Amino acid sequence: MDSMKNDLIPLAMDEEIQGQAQIWKHIYGFAESLTLKCAIELGVPDILHKHGKPMTLSEIADKLTIPSPNMDRFHRIMRFLVHMKLFTVIDGPEMKYALTPASKLLVRAEEKNLVSFALIQLHADEMLPWHYLIAGIEGQTTPWLASHNGVPYYDRVGKDPEYYKLHNDAMTSHTSFVVSALVQGCAKEGVLDGVRSLVDVGGSTGVASKAITNAFPHVKCTVMDFAHVVEAVPKDPKVDFVAGDVFDCVPKADAVLMKSFLHGFDDDDSIKILNKCREAIPAKGGKLIIVEIVVDIDGTLEFARPRLCMDLELGMFGGKERTKDEWKNLLTKAETIR
């Protein structure tokens, strides 16, 4: 009854204005993502970084690979990017543009950057499943499969060298942000004490394994991934690579590392994988190291929103990011179901 009454009461004017502003912001959320992609593809952050000091619009335009850019459109894109605080402007006889702390992360020459991660998320093939969220709710398929004629993600990526490189670069760049914390955490907690061998399941290009071997030379690391992944990785004297499917077998080792791996699977498959890992490590003293996002549903943490977005993203493929309780439940279930 109360809710019916509420329906009849008009919203206060400022509430309606705020509501409108919020909805408009969400309707045009895609404009922010895709204008950011445009800036990366044009190489504007790289141009500003290389120049080393603020530049006018025409100075930036001169460095674009486009022969005669439409300056009016380019200006409007730069104006929007300034509004997004990706660039800042310095007033003077002629306005100049400069990088901000955020857009420094879009410079390819920086060791830590988010360029390939942004480009893979905003790749047309990865955006398509977002139009198929309802197919995922209907439950017979995943949004990815519904939007890609039933072709699984890694089959699609594996057949397209450019797409495949982008995917690997994105995973590698994402990992480069967390490896130092991983290595520090392992050192502080003595996680790798007594560990002489480690298998990095779904370890891709081995960026985590290489960091572990460098920091803990007593640990011999082996990366296990699909054959097409392993075959494309340049050989490394410090890290071994083996081809395999986690559902078949995990090579024996003192420890198993899974980083950004279990999030690709639902609970039933994750339990199967956890059991394969248990078989691979010694019953006494064997270690399982899981490095994953923890979803914060209260939204109090700075990265709450991107983590919830990543959860939706993984949902496209049948996986999920998990809350602390979901991780606890999964690991408890895996302990009991063998």
Q: In whole angstroms, how close is the CB of 152 to ligand LAOBWLLU at the nearest point?
A: 7
Structure tokens at 134: 């309802």
Which CB, 147 or 204, lies closer to ligand SAM?
204
Which CB, 96 or 321, lies closer to ligand LAOBWLLU?
321
226 binds, among ligand LAOBWLLU, ligand SAM, none (CB under 5 to 8 A by kind): ligand SAM
Angle at 168 between CA 121 and CA 239, to 5 degrees: 150
Report the C-alpha gap between 79 and 89 in whole angstroms. Answer: 9
Among residues 43, 129, 202, 206, the one that binds ligand LAOBWLLU under rule CB under 6 A: 202
Cα end-to-end span (Å), the chain: 51
Among residues 136, 143, 203, 315, the one that binds ligand SAM under rule CB under 6 A: 203
Instruction: Tell me the residue nearest to ligand LAOBWLLU as measured from the CB.
Output: 264
Which CB, 233 or 308, lies closer to ligand SAM?
233
Which 3-state string (H, E, C) describes 253-301? CCEEEEECCHHHCCHHHHHHHHHHHHHHCCCCCCEEEEECCEECCCCCC
Q: In whole angstroms, how close is the CB of 322 to ligand SAM at the nearest point?
A: 15
Which CB, 47 or 273, lies closer to ligand LAOBWLLU?
273
Q: In whole angstroms, how close is the CB of 167 to ligand LAOBWLLU at the nearest point?
A: 6
Which residue type sits at 105?
A: L
Of residues 261-320, those binding ligand SAM (CB under 6 A):
261, 264
Q: In whole angstroms, how close is the CB of 311 to ligand LAOBWLLU at the nearest point?
A: 11
Among residues 202, 315, 318, 319, the one that binds ligand SAM under rule CB under 6 A: 202
270 makes contact with ligand LAOBWLLU (CB under 6 A): no
Structure tokens at 190: 């003595």
Residue 255 region, left (φ>0) first, then alpha (ψ -120 to 50), else beta? beta
Q: Is 263 a catalytic residue?
A: yes
Q: In whole angstroms, how close is the CB of 278 to ligand SAM at the nearest point?
A: 16
The catalytically annotated residue of 49, 218, 228, 263 is: 263
For the beta sheet containing 287-291, the strands, ordered from the edge strand earlier in sequence to the opposite edge, are 239-243, 220-225, 197-201, 255-259, 287-291
Piece of 40-48, 100-108, 245-253, 328-336 that binds ligand SAM (CB under 6 A): 245-253
261 makes contact with ligand LAOBWLLU (CB under 6 A): yes
Q: In whole angstroms, how close is the CB of 282 to ligand LAOBWLLU at the nearest point?
A: 25
Which CB, 72 or 248, lies closer to ligand SAM?
248
Q: In whole angstroms, how close is the CB of 15 to ligand SAM at the nearest point?
A: 42
**Which positions are catalytic?**
263
Interface contacts to ligand LAOBWLLU, rule CB under 6 A: 120-121, 126, 153, 202, 260-261, 263-264, 313, 317, 319
Residues that bind ligand SAM (CB under 6 A): 154, 171, 175, 202-204, 207, 225-226, 229, 245-247, 259-261, 264
